[in-house]
Amino acid sequence: MLSRRRFLQTSIAAAGLVGVLPRAVAAAGPVTLTAEPMSFLLPGCTGPSPLWGYNATWPLELRLRRGQPFEAVLKNALPEQTAIHWHGIRLPFPMDGVPYFSQQPVEPGQSFHYAFTPPDPGTFFFHPHCDTVTQLGRGLAGVLVVEDPRDAGLFDREQTIVLKDWRVAKDGSFEEFTTDAGAARAGTFGRLRTANGMAAPVITVRPGTRLRLRVLNIDNTRIPMLGLRGAEQAVVIATDGNACEPFPVDGWRIGPAMRADIGVVMPATEGAEAFLEDIWSSKPHLLAKIVTRGEAVKRDGAQPALRLPPPELPEPDLKNADSLQFTLLAGHADSPQINEWAKENGFGADDLCLTRQVFWSINRQAWPGMGPGLKADPLFTLKSGRSYIAEIFNGTPHTHPMHLHGHTFRVIASTEEDVRSHWCDTVLVRPNERVKIAFVGGRPGDWMFHCHIIEHQETGMMGYLRVA
Ligand code: C2O
Ligand code: CU
């Protein structure tokens, strides 16, 4: 049997790619995920950075097949409490990883056993859900790919690309992860931009390769606008891991926590180059480069379209749906004075899940945070199995990637653009925009609904939907 380290090396070698992610395969038994400090040399830094990661591997990628039961034991080797939220997975509520909500926080030295079977294939990730601005800021996250046996053979290669910026100084030390000025506006941006922890990695493939890119934005703050030039074809084939009607990559924005699977056909000539870029600003930022080398991939006959088999998700009944309304605002009407509340109720200054400063609200409620005995009221109470159309109105001057736990929803309309109906778990809502999403009430539980710009989440823009 290969040791895991050997296995990692072999799989990197076999893939023949530069800038490939280290990867672990989740076998039948439970995977151990040790959340721990690690040191990592980020590009352009003179010394290593004190990252937090799982299994001292950054970024760690787990792979499963659809229908395969998954078990993970989180061991907390960090100096503070943590938990794992499995972002985008429709799982039973006790597995959702929200401290004080779906489970007790995992204190240093403790562990927690997660077990569930992901019902949907796709590109997912996992991360903590408390003091997230620091924990995710230090890198604590991993990729979870759920493979779909139905799309086997559609691509010659695949490559995961994890986008993350770092609040890092030249010497590798971290700068403060949040600032009031950032938290109250678009967020506090990192200085260093990376893909898989590298500056613009090069992916080498054979000419003519049909390549699947699984792009994940795990940054706390930035909303890139993707562009891909130089390929023969480049289309978005899945949004947040869910297959969609393919559409051109250029101009597609992915906010924090959002994923885009991209189907690429490289030119059949050697030395061809394609560029994955953030084209949001006038000067595009190179995220990763794909080059062709070696002998061309042999093809016989017509090739299938770059299209994934359709998702198998509960389809909301739009005619008989109940409507919900969410209004996102800056400031708030009646937020509790958390610091006072904390003092009165015996919380210390280091209680990590409390909202210390409030800049944002949903339906005029600012999220107070979580703690033993502290629980805000739900934004709405829903029925499992009932259909809902939720309108999200953004009355703030900033864009918010809004995420709902435990559900995959359909984006059906926007006041600002013609929406191609697609499935996702996180949707961008721009200033003044009203976005409509539709979904079927999922499993019973208290499912968080929040902005995934982590500083917004932690300064009021969070709530939850109770499914009864
Ligand atoms: Cu990716 Cu509530 O989170
Ligand atoms: Cu936000």
User: Where does the pLDDT of residue 15 fall: very low under 50, low under 70, confident under 90, or very high at 90 and above?
Assistant: very low
The ligand that comes nearest to the alpha carbon of residue 87 is: 1
- The answer to whether residues 12 and 61 belong to one domain is yes
Question: For 139-190, what is each residue's pLDDT tens digit?
Answer: 999 999 999 999 999 999 999 999 999 999 999 999 999 999 999 999 999 9
Q: Are residues 227 and 86 in the same domain?
A: no
Q: Residue 457 pLDDT > 60, yes or no?
A: yes
Same domain, 349 and 439: yes
281 CA → ligand 2 middle, Å: 20
Residue 308 located in a structural domain = no
Give the nearest ligand 1 atom to 98 CA. 2
- CATH number at 33 reads 2.60.40.420
Residue 59: cis peptide before it, omega within 30 degrees of 0:
yes
Average pLDDT of 15-25?
Answer: 45
pTM above 0.85, yes or no: yes
Query: Which residue has the CA at smallest separation from atom 3 of ligand 1?
Result: 87
Which ligand 1 atom is nearest residue 127's CA?
Answer: 1
Number of Cβ within a 10 Å radius of residue 101? 22
Q: State residue 338's pLDDT score.
A: 67
Domain-located, residue 303: no
d(CA 143, ligand 2 centre) in Å: 23
Residue 19 has pLDDT above 50, yes or no: no
Q: Measured between alpha carbons, how far is 423 from 444 in angstroms, rounded to an integer? A: 21
The minimum-distance atom of ligand 1 relative to the CA of 88 is 1
The mean-pLDDT minimum among 109-118, 207-216, 294-303, 387-396 falls in 294-303
Specify whether 251 is located in the same domain as 342: no
Distance 450 CA to ligand 1 centre (A): 8
Q: What number does the ligand 1 atom closest to the CA of 426 have? A: 1
Decide if 404 is inside a domain.
Answer: yes
Q: Which ligand is nearest to the CA of 99?
A: 1
Q: What is residue 466's predicted lDDT score, i.e. its pLDDT? A: 98
Print the SS3 string covering the chain.
CCCHHHHHHHHHHHHCCCCCCCCEECCCCCEEEEEEEEEECCCCCCCCEEEEEECCECCEEEEEECCCCEEEEEEECCCCCECCEEECCCCCHHHCCCECCCECCECCCCEEEEEECCCCCEEEEEECCCCHHHHCCCCCCEEEEEECHHHCCCCCEEEEEEEEEECECCCCCECCCCCHHHHCCCCCCCCEEEECCECCCEEEECCCCEEEEEEEECCCCCCCEEEEECCCEEEEEEECCEEEEEEECCCEECCCCCEEEEEEECCCCCCCEEEEEECCCCCCEEEEEEEECCCCCCCCCCCCCCCCCCCCCCCCCHHHCEEEEEEEEECCCCCCCHHHHHHHCCCCCCCCCECCCCCEEECCECCCECECCECCCCCEEECCCCEEEEEEEECCCCCEEEEECCCCEEEEEECCCCCCCEEECEEEECCCCEEEEEEECCCCEEEEEEECCHHHHCCCCEEEEEEC
Residue 334 has pLDDT above 50, yes or no: no
Q: What is the pLDDT of residues 208-261, one digit of tens each?
A: 999 999 999 999 999 999 999 999 999 999 999 999 999 999 999 999 999 999
Question: What was the pLDDT predicted at 399?
Answer: 98
For tokens 């539980």, the residue is 445
Q: Which atom of ligand 1 is nearest to the CA of 129?
A: 2
Residue 300 resides in a domain: no
Q: Which ligand 1 atom is the nearest neighbour of the CA of 462?
A: 2
As for ligand 1, residues whose beta carbon falls within 6 Å of it are 85, 87, 127, 129, 257, 403, 405, 448, 450, 452
pLDDT, tens digit (0-9, with 9 covering 90-100), for 125-146: 999 999 999 999 999 999 999 9
Q: For residue 301, tell me if it sits in a domain.
A: no
Amino acid at 156: D
Residue 311 resides in a domain:
no
Residues 462 and 449: beta-carbon distance below 8 Å? yes
Q: Are the C-beta atoms of residues 245 and 239 closer than 8 Å to each other?
A: no
Residues 337, 360 share a domain: yes
Question: Which ligand lies nearest the alpha carbon of 89?
Answer: 1
Strands 259-265 and 252-253: unpaired
Distance 156 CA to ligand 1 centre (A): 32
User: How far away, in angstroms, is 331 Cα from ligand 1 center?
Assistant: 22
Q: Which residues surround ligand 2, an ion (CB under 5 A)?
A: 400, 451, 453, 456
457 CA distance to ligand 2 middle (Å): 7
In a domain, 335, yes or no: yes
Same structural domain, 134 and 161: no
Answer with the one of 111, 126, 149 that is the final residue of a domain: 149
- Distance in Å, CA 402 to ligand 1 centroid: 9
Same domain, 74 and 205: no
Which residue bears the tokens 């499995």?
86
Give me ligand 2 centre to Cα 340, in Å.
Answer: 25
Report the distance separating Cα 189 and Cα 197, nearest Å. Answer: 16
Q: Is the pLDDT of residue 327 over 90?
A: yes
Ligand nearest to the CA of 221: 2
What is the pLDDT confidence band of residue 6, given thresholds at 50, 70 and 90? very low
Looking at the fold, whether 326 and 461 belong to one and the same domain comes out as: yes
Q: Which domain holds residue 459?
A: 318-467
**pLDDT grade, residue 104 (50/70/90)?**
very high
Alpha-carbon distance of 295 to 77, in angstroms, equals: 46
**Is the pLDDT at 26 greater than 80, yes or no?**
no
Assigned domain for 97 exists: yes
* For residue 18, pLDDT beyond 50: no
Same structural domain, 119 and 162 = no
End position of a domain, from candidates 130, 149, 168? 149
How close is the Cα of 463 to the center of ligand 1, in Å? 12
Query: How confident is the model over 399-434, as pLDDT tens digits?
Result: 999 999 999 999 999 999 999 999 999 999 999 999
Ligand nearest to the CA of 396: 2
Q: Which pLDDT score is estimated for 22?
A: 46
Confidence of residue 348 (pLDDT cuts 50, 70, 90): low
Greater confidence (281 vs 340) lies with 281
Specify whether 66 is located in the same domain as 123. yes
Positive/negative CA dihedral, 46, 142, 112, 103: positive
Counted residue by residue, the chain has a size of: 468
Span 18-44, mean pLDDT? 77
For the beta sheet containing 85-87, the strands, ordered from the edge strand earlier in sequence to the opposite edge, are 24-25, 60-65, 142-147, 122-127, 85-87
Q: What is the pLDDT of residue 340?
A: 72
What pLDDT score was predicted for residue 337?
62
- Asked whether residue 463 falls in the same domain as residue 426, the answer is yes
Instruction: Work out the pLDDT band at 344, boundaries 50, 70, 90.
Output: confident
Q: How many structural domains comprise the chain?
A: 3
Of the chain, the percentage scoring pLDDT greater than 70 comes to 92
Residues 434 and 343 in one domain: yes
Mean pLDDT of 269-279: 98
Checking if the pLDDT of 302 tops 60, the result is yes
Q: Which ligand is nearest to the CA of 223?
A: 2
Lowest pLDDT segment from 20-24, 333-337, 359-363: 20-24
Residue 14 has pLDDT above 70, yes or no: no
- Mean pLDDT for 8-29 is 44
Between the CA of 459 and the centroid of ligand 2 the distance, in Å, is 10
Where does the pLDDT of residue 346 fall: very low under 50, low under 70, confident under 90, or very high at 90 and above? confident
**Domain termination site, one of 258, 292, 326:** 292
Q: Indicate which residue's Cα is closest to atom 1 of ligand 1.
A: 87
Are 290 and 276 contacting, i.e. CB atoms less than 8 angstroms apart? yes
User: Which residues, listed in sequence order, are joined to residue 340 by a DSSP beta bridge?
Assistant: none
Ligand 1 atom with the smallest distance to the CA of 257 is: 1
